[in-house]
Amino acid sequence: MTDIPHYALYGEDFAADAPDYLHIARLEESLPKHNWEIHPHRHDNLHQFMILESGSMHAQFRDSSDEYQGSCVLSIPAKEVHGFIHQPEVKGFILSISHPFLLNLFNEAERTALLSLFREPQAIRTPGRRETVEIKMLAERMLSEYLEKGQLMASMVGAHLKAMMIHLARHIMRQTTQTKSQVKTHEFEQFIGLVDLHLRDQWLVTQYAEAMGLSSGQLNRICQRHADQQALAIIHEKTIDEAKRQLIFTQLSAKEVAYKLGFKDPGYFSRFFSRRVGMSPKAYRNKVIADTQK
């Protein structure tokens, strides 16, 4: 494999009137078609929620993997590499929602409060009986609306989805003691989007700032306020994340990964990677392979 697969959905068959921005199914009905395993891949424009009611599964995000059992919700933003191996007794729901549809459910203040759900893969364990029942009830209502396709179905599903995400966000907030600064997010989100778009073009901070109508200093202040990092550090972090994905999920050589990420000198890429990861690209790939075989 020379590239990470990009999927719309997992090869499901849809009715002619199925909406293209939304898909909801029971895990136990959908997964047998794939022999209970979903190989590593990513969705360019879909945010997915996997709601585990019972049973167990092995999930892989980026360069880490873990086992999940019982009540748990996995939130997987668009563009994030992920893969799953489920046990046949697993029960729950899989929700796939277009990123624009999801964003439009929330105003700016709400998006700020839910930023972690939009930006990072999350595994939210829900041990409390009350919140487990609430999330299951909301998922069942969304599935019912999706299958019945009644009037204003999108509005009703959106309302239930919004309620579920608020439940998840509250749970995350209760688990963390860090107070997040309430700042406007649209400039930062624009910057992150531009980095995703131009990562392989090796843009300078000045080019990103110019594209946003800002000075480099203004862009750095936005990034510092929002992510406690300078703009260049975020660009480098994104570059390393993508390099790791390519090393783990493709068979490209380190030299080929370097060229794919816009580096003109593979030797410089190797030094750049080693300074930030603590080992060469080849050593990193070998370590991940060895860790997964334990």
What CATH number does the domain containing 254 carry?
1.10.10.60
Number of domains in the chain: 2
pLDDT of the residue at 240: 96
Task: Identify whether 5 is part of a domain.
Answer: no
Tell me whether residue 181 is in a domain: no
92 located within any domain: yes
159 and 64, same structural domain? yes
Same domain, 28 and 163: yes
What residues contact 148, with CB distance under 8 A and at least 6 apart?
A: none
Last residue of a domain, one of 145, 175, 205: 175
Q: How far apart are CA 149 and CA 133, in angstroms?
A: 24
Within a domain: residue 11? no
Residue 85, in any domain of the structure: yes
Q: Is residue 13 included in any domain, yes or no?
A: no
Contact 161, 97 (CB under 8 A): yes
Query: Do 207 and 103 have their domain in common?
Result: no
CA neighbor of 218 nearest in space, from 226, 208, 229, 209: 209
- Asked if 99 and 217 sit in the same domain, the reply is no
Cα separation, 28 vs 100, whole angstroms: 28
Same domain, 72 and 210: no
- Name 48's bridge partners: 76, 96
Does 61 fall in a domain? yes
Domain stop point among 155, 175, 195: 175
Q: Would you say 188 and 222 are in contact if contact means Cβ atoms under 8 Å apart?
A: yes
pLDDT at 35: 66
* Listed residues 146, 175, 204: the one ending a domain: 175
pLDDT for position 3: 57
Residues contacting residue 250 through CB under 8 Å, at least 6 positions apart: 1, 2, 3, 4, 257
User: Domain range spanning residue 49?
Assistant: 22-175
Q: Answer whether residue 277 is part of any domain.
A: yes
Centre a 10 Å sphere on the Cβ of residue 231 and count the other Cβ atoms it contains: 24
Residues 59 and 103 in one domain: yes
Q: What is the pLDDT of residue 14?
A: 39
pLDDT one digit per residue (tens) for the chain, 294 residues: 555 554 445 444 434 344 567 899 998 887 766 666 777 778 788 899 999 988 888 887 776 777 888 788 988 888 888 777 777 788 899 999 998 899 899 998 888 888 878 888 888 887 567 878 899 999 999 999 999 988 999 999 999 999 999 988 888 877 764 444 444 578 888 999 999 999 999 999 999 999 999 999 999 999 998 888 999 999 999 999 999 999 999 999 999 999 999 999 999 999 999 999 999 999 999 998 888 766
In this prediction, residue 17 carries a pLDDT of 42
Same domain, 146 and 207: no
Question: Tokens at residue 2, please?
Answer: 């020379």
C-alpha span between 203 and 99 (Å, rounded): 25
Same domain, 231 and 154: no
Residues 139 and 167 in one domain: yes
Whether residue 89 sits in one domain with residue 55: yes
CATH number at residue 140: 2.60.120.280
CA triplet 143, 117, 22: central angle to 5 degrees?
Answer: 30
Q: Are residues 144 and 247 in the same domain?
A: no
Q: Are residues 151 and 209 in the same domain?
A: no
Give bridge partners of residue 124 from the DSSP assignment.
73
E strand intervals along the chain = 22-26, 37-41, 46-54, 56-61, 64-69, 72-76, 82-86, 91-98, 122-125
Pairing mode of beta strands 56-61, 122-125: unpaired
Cβ 171 vs Cβ 126: under 8 Å:
yes
